[in-house]
Amino acid sequence: MARQIEDMSAQELAEACATAMWEGDNASQRLGMTIEHIAPGEARLSMTLTDAMTNGHGNAHGGYLFTLADSAFAFACNTYNQLTVAQHCAITFIAPGRLGDRLTAEAREISRTGRSGIYDITVAREDGTVIAAFRGHARTVKGTLLSS
């Protein structure tokens, strides 16, 4: 028998929400992302840059860096069993990603009040070099990820 939502710890709820979201997240799955960490208001996802993800300069295409950061953002802001969507996002590219780099996007909640949240996400190479900084503004909408 499934555990009742109201009996779950905050960590268990965050993990159950991530599992539910992952099942339908075709984009993150097809890009080879993996979830490495989930906690209330936090997520860490990784992805290896393939040749299909490089631009004409041989660097990581910015859209793929944005997608990795956006996925970490989505998992972080959906850890409370309230459907939450992006309202506004901005990214700053700091250094290039290269073919074969294993990139990690680390999302953390900065503020969550009412229906609004702010999340900061860093995208880094395996050596710890931050290559992008992303800020996402989230908005809670009607609905839940898990049913009672």
pLDDT interval class at 4 (50, 70, 90): confident
Rounded average pLDDT over 30-55? 98
* pLDDT the model gives residue 92: 98
Angstrom distances, CA of residue 124 to CA of 21, 50, 70, 117, 148: 24, 16, 14, 23, 37
Encoded tokens for 137:
């503004």
Residue 33: strand, helix, or coil: coil
Encoded tokens for 14:
């965050």
Strands, DSSP E only, in 1-148?
Answer: 34-39, 42-48, 84-93, 102-113, 116-124, 130-140
Rounded average pLDDT over 99-126? 98
Pairing outcome for strands 102-113 and 116-124: antiparallel
**pTM for the full model?**
0.94
pLDDT interval class at 5 (50, 70, 90): confident
- Per-chain mean pLDDT for the chain: 96
Rounded average pLDDT over 122-143? 98
* pLDDT the model gives residue 1: 32
> What CATH code is assigned to 5-140?
3.10.129.10
Cβ 43 vs Cβ 37: under 8 Å: yes
* pLDDT the model gives residue 2: 54
Nearest to 137 by CA among 129, 127, 114: 114
